[in-house]
């Protein structure tokens, strides 16, 4: 029997994410994802039914307020379907980013005891929340069947926007978790921030309603590209590349810089607990 010795060396302040190291701790990452899934609806009566009820309640409210009362234009798409395709990825990103922001604070008992890549903490919620997302997508498929929506070749882009969505949630989560462990005010600010963000993305309205002079700036919001991309992939509408490409570039930038900043701050996490 051979014993493997692992040497932990000091790293440079700014460093790209070490995928090899993350792969070595795959078991721990899997455990944290599984833990997050188990405690997600622990000690609740309805359990995973909340994965359907949460977006469903928002869809009903939006359909009444914006679809019936305000009569927001949806380019001929029934408002319930129009909002469903947006609410589901938005709910995923909202929950993943919120949970990631507090991941280091909630796991602080482990930070000073044993070495492992701390990056696992903010990444785990982004993957755990995919369970909710999958359940909601299955519900959406029933809604699409009800409205007799026939899938098109655009559906092949679905995995692309899935990766795009996870990248946005993970990148923002790395930034927020780095800030939240130092500034505990983030716990109280996050609900307010999320309520504001919902109106900066085409969830209750169409991106086509944005004036031309603001569209370039608007498209830099990666959430816009995610939602409009899913709409096109699932509903078969024309693919809005003018919103998708800028959003993807922003998402990649947020993800890379988030990882760099997280690694930069990683050395002081145990000191600020």
Q: How far apart are CA 40 and CA 140, in angstroms?
A: 21
CA distances from 155 to 151, 191, 219, 233, 243 (A): 6, 33, 22, 5, 18
* Residue indicated by tokens 């997050």: 36
Taking 50 as the threshold, does the pLDDT of residue 203 lie above it? yes
Q: If you average pLDDT over residues 117-136, what whole number do you get?
A: 89
For 24-38, 46-60, 194-208, which range has the lowest pLDDT when averaged over its residues?
46-60
Q: How far apart are CA 150 and CA 86, in angstroms?
A: 18
pLDDT reported for residue 1: 47
DSSP at 78: -
- Predicted TM-score (pTM) of this structure: 0.86
Taking 70 as the threshold, does the pLDDT of residue 272 lie above it? no
Q: If you average pLDDT over residues 156-170, what whole number do you get?
A: 95
Considering only residues 42 and 162, tell me which one the structure prediction assigns the higher pLDDT: 162
pLDDT reported for residue 139: 86
Assigned token pair, 9: 């060396």
Q: If you average pLDDT over residues 264-273, what whole number do you get?
A: 68
pLDDT reported for residue 154: 93
Taking 90 as the threshold, does the pLDDT of residue 76 lie above it? no
Taking 70 as the threshold, does the pLDDT of residue 9 lie above it? no
Q: If you average pLDDT over residues 194-216, what whole number do you get?
A: 87
Q: If you average pLDDT over residues 36-55, what whole number do you get?
A: 73
Q: If you average pLDDT over residues 181-191, what whole number do you get?
A: 80
Q: pLDDT tens-digit profile of 209-258?
A: 889 889 999 999 999 999 999 999 999 889 999 999 999 999 999 999 99
Helices (H) and strands (E) in the chain, counts: 14, 0
Torsion of the alpha carbons at 86, 125, 199 and 158, rounded to the nearest 10: -30
**Which range, 27-41, 108-122, 211-225, has the best average confidence (pLDDT)?**
211-225
Taking 80 as the threshold, does the pLDDT of residue 4 lie above it? no
């Amino acid at each position: 029997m051979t014993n493997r010795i692992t040497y932990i060396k000091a790293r440079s302040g700014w460093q790209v994410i070490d995928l090899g190291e993350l792969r070595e701790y795959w078991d721990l990452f899997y455990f944290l994802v599984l833990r997050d899934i188990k405690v997600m609806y622990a000690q609740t009566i309805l359990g995973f039914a909340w994965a359907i009820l949460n977006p469903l309640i928002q869809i009903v409210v939006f359909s009444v307020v914006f679809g019936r009362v305000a009569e927001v234009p949806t380019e001929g798409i029934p408002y319930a379907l129009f909002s469903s395709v947006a609410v589901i990825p938005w709910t995923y990103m909202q929950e993943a980013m919120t949970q990631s922001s507090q991941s280091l604070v909630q796991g602080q008992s482990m930070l000073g005891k044993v070495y492992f890549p701390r990056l696992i903490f903010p990444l785990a919620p982004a993957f755990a929340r995919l369970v909710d997302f999958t359940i909601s997508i299955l519900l959406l498929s029933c809604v699409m069947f009800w409205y007799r929506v026939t899938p098109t070749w655009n559906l092949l882009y679905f995995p692309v926007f899935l990766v795009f969505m996870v990248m946005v949630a993970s990148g923002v989560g790395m930034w927020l978790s780095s800030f939240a462990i130092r500034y505990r005010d983030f716990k109280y600010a996050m609900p307010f921030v999320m309520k504001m963000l919902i109106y900066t993305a085409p969830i209750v309205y169409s991106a086509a309603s944005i004036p031309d002079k603001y569209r370039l700036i608007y498209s830099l919001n990666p959430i816009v590209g995610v939602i409009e991309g899913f709409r096109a992939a699932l509903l078969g509408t024309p693919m809005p590349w003018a919103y998708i490409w800028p959003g993807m570039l922003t998402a990649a930038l947020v993800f890379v810089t988030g990882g760099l900043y997280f690694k930069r701050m990683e050395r002081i996490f145990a000191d600020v607990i």
